[in-house]
Structure 1
Amino acid sequence: MSKLAQLRAQRDAKAKAAHDLNAKTPSDQRMNSSDASALDALLAEVEAIDGEIARENRINQVAGDAQSEHEAAMNAATRNGGASDEASALRAMLSGGLSALTQEQRNAMFARQNPDIRAAMSTTTGSEGGFTVATEFSRQLIEALKATGSVRSVASNIRTSTGAQMLFPTTDATAEEGELLAQNTTAAVLETTFGQASLDVYKYSSKSIALPFELLQDSMFDIEAYIQNLLRLRLGRIQDRHHVLGTGSSQPRGVVTASTVGKTGTTGQTTSVIYDDLVDLEHSIDPAYRANCRYMMNDSTLKALRKIKDSQNRPIFVPGYETGNPGGAPDRLLGREIVINQYMAAMAANAKSILFGDFSKFLIRDVMDVTLFRMTDSAFTLKGQVGFVAFCRSGANMVDNGGAIKHYANSAT
C-alpha cells in the first residue's frame, strides 16, 4: 500500500471515530467535557493527517508546474488491457496518426464525424489529422473533471449537438401564493415576471503538448491515459476558474458572479466568520431550495471553520470518512456537505469567501465532444516530437433568479 493510501486509511478511521463520538450525544444536549476533549483530539489528528496528505499530493503533482504535470500524467498512464474498440482506435491514432488505424476503425471514425470535422482531416497523410475524441474518452474526461471537486461535481450538466445560443426563462416565484375565495368571487390577478438567462458557449484550448517519438513508440506507455490526464489538468483548471469567477462577458458567468449576498460579516470579521453569521447565511436561502443546499469554499476558509463550536460545545465541522463508498459520509459543516474549490476567494476584507445554496440551479453546457489534433509539422518533427492540442466548447450560467445560491462576504473592516 502506498504512503498516500495509508494516510487516507488512517484519516478514514479517525474521521469515523469522530463522527461516532459526535453522534453519541443527542443534538439538543450539551456534550460533556470528556467527550468534547476526546473529539477535539480526534479532529486535531484528522487535521494533521490532512496536512500530510496535502504534502504528499504536492510532492506527486505540483500544481501549475508543466514538468510535474507531465511526470504525474506519465505515472498514471498504465496500460489497460480491457480497452474498448473506441479506446483502441483513439490510442492507435494518437500513436501513429490516421494511417495507423485499421480500415474498420477508419470507417467507423468517419461515420461518426460530421462533414465540417471530416474536412479538417487528411485521409492520405495520417500525421495531419484531427480527431473528435471517442464518446467513451470524452465521458471519462468529464468524469475526471467532476472528481476533482470542481463546480461540475455539483452543478447541472448538459451536452448539446450545436453551439447555438440557448435562452432559459427565469423567474422568482418564491414569494407568490394563491388566495382564498368566497363563492362567485372573481380571482385576483398576480402576474409572474419572467426574465431570460443566456447560456452561450466559448472555445477552450488545452495549449499544445509536445511528446517525443520515444514515448509514443513505447508499447508500455498508455498515451490515451497520458493525454486524458493533461486535458483534465489544463482544460479543467481554466473552466473551473470561469465556473467560479467568470464575468459573463466574453466568458461564462461564474457561480460567485451570479450569486447574491446572503450575509455580510459582522464588523471585525475580515479574515474570519462567526457561527451566527453562518446560521444567517443558511437562512438567507428560501426553504424551498434548502433541502439540496451545500457549502463551497477555499480550503483555507475551511481550516478556519474547523475550529468553530456551537452553543452546545460541538464543532460545527464533522469530518467525513470513506467518501464515495457505501456507508461513507462527506465532510459536513452544520450538517451540510462541503465542496472545496481553490478558485473561491480566501477570507479577506470584502471577499466573497463562502457560497451556500442549491448548485443544481447552476447549469454547465458542453457542445459535442472534445476535439483533439495530432501535429507533425516541421516545428515538431525537427525536434523528434509529435504535437497535440485539444479544443472544446463550453459555457455556464445561473438559470434561476430566485436566490438559490448566496454568498458570505467578509466585513470590510
Structure 2
Amino acid sequence: MNIKALRDQRAAKATEARNLIESNTGAGYTKEISDKVDAIYEEIDRIDASIAAAERQAQIDGDAAQDDAGRELDDRVRSQLNPEQREQQDRYNNAFRAFILRGERGMTQAETQALIAGPAIQNAQSIGSPASGGYLVPAGWGGQLLEALAMFGGMRDVATVFSTAGGNPLPWPTVDETAAEGEIVPENVAAADSDVTFGTTQIGAYKYSSKVVTIPFELLQDQGPGIDVEAFVRRALAMRIARITNRHFTLGDGVGKPQGLVTAAPVGRAGLTGSATSVSPDDLIFLEHSVDPAYRSLPGVGWMFHDSTLRDLKRLKDNDGRPLWLPGYTAKEPDTFLRYKYTINQHMPVMAASAKSILFGDLSSYMIRDIMQVTLFRFDDSAYTKKGQIGFLAWSRHDGKLVTAGAPVKAYQNSAS
C-alpha cells in the first residue's frame, strides 16, 4: 500500500474516532464508546508505523531528488554572479568533486589552482581562506548539508533557524512586554514615561566536527551509474553533525556549547511525590497555564517530549474518560495533545526522577544559528591507506539559545521520588 493510501486510511480512522468523542459527551461517553475509541487508536498506531516505514524508504529512494535540489541551489547562486564569477564557481565545483574522488595528489594543476582560489561566492563576500588542507564546500553542497540537518532530532522543526556568512558573536535584543500596560490620560496631562527595557544576549558559533567518515577504495574507484560518492559523504557528515547539535540544542548547559532549551526553560509545574516516572492531566493543565497567555496565543506554541512520553500521554483521559490525545485528520491538521500540536524529540529526557521531561510554550523563541562556511578535509595518509580507506571530515559552526527576557517555554519536572 502506498503512502497516500495509508494516509487516507489513517484520516478515515481519525475522523471515526473524533466523531465518537465529539458526539458522545458527559454520561454519553460510555465504556463501550471508550473501548471503540481505544481500538481505533491502536489501529492508528499500526498505520503510523507503516507510514513511517514507507516514508523512510521514500527518503532513501529520493536521494537523487535531494541532489537535484542541490543543483537547483547551485543554479540560484550562479544567477547572482557575473559571467566571470560563474566560470570561477564552475571551476571550483568541478575541482571539489575531483578532490573528493582523487585527492590533491590526483588532481590536475588547474584543478588545484581552482581550489586554492576558492569559490566565487566566497570571494564575493570577502571571507577568509579555508584552513590548510581543507576546502570550503560549494554553495549547493553546503546548502544540502544544512538542509539535511533538519531531518534529524526535532529542535529544527520548531526553532527559528537563520544563517550568517561569518561567525562573529551576534548580539540579539531581548524584551519582556507581557506585563506592560497603557494608561488613561486626563486632558492636558502628559503621558507617563514607560520606556521598553531591552536586554541583549550573544549568539555565537561553536565549532562542530563530524568525526572522520571512512570510505573504502573500492567505492571511490568503482563508482558508476547510481553511485554518488559526493551524496553519500554529505549525508554521512550531516547525520553526525545533526545528532550532536540537536542534543546540544536540547540539553546543552551553555558552557562551551549551546544552551539547550531544556536547560533554559524554568520549571512551570513540579510533579507531586510519587510521580517520578509519570504525569497527571492536572500537572499538564497547570504547566499549560504557567505560560503567559500572550505566549500561548503565538503560532509557535506547543509541546515537546520524547516518544516514550507520548506513549504514556496517549493513555491519559479527562474526567469523562475521553482521551486528551486527538489524531489529526491530515498533515495540515496534526495530532494534538490538549488541543496543542507537539514535537517528538528523542534527545528530550524520558520521565525519571527530577527529569524535566515535558516542555510547553512558544518553542519558536529558541534561535538556531548556522554559519554558511562548511569546510571538508580528505585524509589519504598511511593511517587510512593501510586499511584500504579514505577519510573525510567536515567542520561546521552552529549555536542555539532561548532569546527572550520572559519565559515563553516552561517545563514539567518529575518528582524526585
TM-score computed with the length of structure 2 as normaliser = 0.81
Partner of 2:243: 237
Q: Which residue of 2 aligns with 1:248?
A: 254
Superposition deviation, residue 228 in structure 1: 2.3
Alignment of 1:268 with 2:274, yes or no, is yes
Name the CA shift for 1:140/1:79 in 2 (closer, same or farther; >3 Å): closer
Q: In 1, distance between residues paired with 2:113 and 2:67?
A: 18
Partners of 2:127 and 2:192 in 1: how far apart? 55
Which residue of structure 2 lines up, in the alignment, with residue 135 of structure 1?
139
Structure 1 residue 350 corresponds to structure 2 residue 347: no
Deviations 1:57-86 (A, max 9, x none): 9xx99xxxxxxxxxxx99986698857385
Q: Which of the residues 280, 290, 295 maps onto 1:284?
A: 290
CA distance 1:190–1:322, shift in 2 (3 Å): closer
Corresponding residue for residue 65 of structure 1: none
Deviation at 1:312, TM superposition (A): 4.0
Output the amino acid matched with 1:374.
R
CA distance in 2, matches of 1:333, 1:305: 8
Match of 2:35 in 1: 37
Partners of 2:385 and 2:201 in 1: CA distance: 47
Contact 2:278 2:351 in 1 (8 A): yes
CA contact (8 A) 1:76 1:225 kept: no
* 1:113 and 2:122 aligned: yes
8 Å CA contact retained: 1:74, 1:226:
no
In the alignment, the residues of structure 2 paired with residue 32 and residue 130 of structure 1 have an alpha-carbon distance, to the nearest angstrom, of 65
Cα deviation per residue 1:75-124 (whole Å; 9 max; x = unaligned)? 98669885738597454442224627986994895323357764646xxx
Is the alpha carbon distance of 1:319 and 1:95 closer, same or farther for their aligned partners in structure 2, counting shifts above 3 Å?
A: farther
Asked if 1:21 is matched to 2:17, the reply is yes
CA distance in 1, matches of 2:401, 2:67: 40
Structure 2 distance, partners of 1:80, 1:399, is 32
Q: Does residue 147 of the first structure (1) align with residue 151 of the second (2)?
A: yes
- Say yes or no: does 1:361 pair with 2:365: yes
Deviations 1:375-409 (A, max 9, x none): 22232233332210000011011111211111111
> Could you tell which deviates more after superposition, 357-366 or 309-318?
309-318
Inter-partner Cα distance in structure 2 for 1:74 and 1:16? 28
Is 1:332 aligned to residue 336 of structure 2?
A: yes
Structure 1 position 364, deviation (Å):
0.6
Aligned to 2:267, the other structure's residue is in SS state strand
Residue 312 of structure 2 aligns to a residue whose secondary structure is helix
Please give the alpha-carbon distance, in whole angstroms, between the structure 2 residues aligned to 1:214 and 1:74. 22
Query: Aligned pair count?
Result: 384
Among 386, 389, 399, the alignment partner of 2:403 is 399
For 1:247 and 1:135, how far apart are their aligned partners in 2?
Answer: 32
- Asked if the contact 2:207–2:395 (Cα under 8 Å) also holds between the matched residues in 1, the reply is yes
Deviation at 1:285, TM superposition (A): 1.4
Partner of 2:45 in structure 1? 47
* Deviation string, structure 1 residues 117-155 (Cα, Å, up to 9, x no partner): 64646xxxxxxx533222222222233222334201110
**8 Å Cα contact 1:371/1:391 also seen in 2:** yes
How many Å separate the matches in 2 of 1:207 and 1:243? 19
- Structure 1 unaligned regions, length at least 5: 62-72, 122-128
SS of corresponding position for 2:319: coil
- Partner AA of 1:261 in structure 2: V
Counterpart pick for 2:176 among 172, 178, 181:
172
CA separation in 1, counterparts of 2:39 and 2:108?
59
| Pairing 1:198–2:185 present | no
Superposition deviation, residue 49 in structure 1:
5.1
Structure 2 gap ranges (5+): 76-92
Q: Is 1:379 the equivalent of 2:401? A: no
1:221 corresponding residue in structure 2: 227
1:221/1:27 CA distance change after superposition, 3 Å = same
Structure 1 residues 147 and 101: alpha-carbon distance in aligned structure 2, compared to 1, 3 A threshold: farther
CA RMSD of aligned residues (A): 3.4
Residue equivalent to 1:409: 413
Q: What's the secondary structure of 1:147's corresponding residue?
A: coil
Secondary structure at the counterpart of residue 243 of structure 1 = helix
Matched letter for residue 181 of structure 2: E
Letter in 2 for 1:41: A
Deviation by residue 1:13-55 (Cα, 9 ceiling, x = unmatched): 245412443145548934633443221101122334556788x
Q: What percent identity do the matched residue pairs reach?
A: 42
Structure 1-normalised TM-score? 0.81
Letter in 1 for 2:120: A
Paired position in structure 2 for 1:315: 323
CA distance in 2, matches of 1:16, 1:158: 38
Counterpart of 1:211 (choices 211, 215, 231) is 215
Amino acid at match of 2:296: R
Instruction: Answer yes or no: is the 8 Å Cα contact 1:321–1:330 preserved in 2.
Output: yes
Partner Cα distance (1:290, 1:102) in 2: 58
Write the distance in 2 (CA, Å) between the matches of 1:119 and 1:201: 16
Structure 1 residues 17 and 412, CA, compared in 2 at 3 Å: closer, same or farther? same
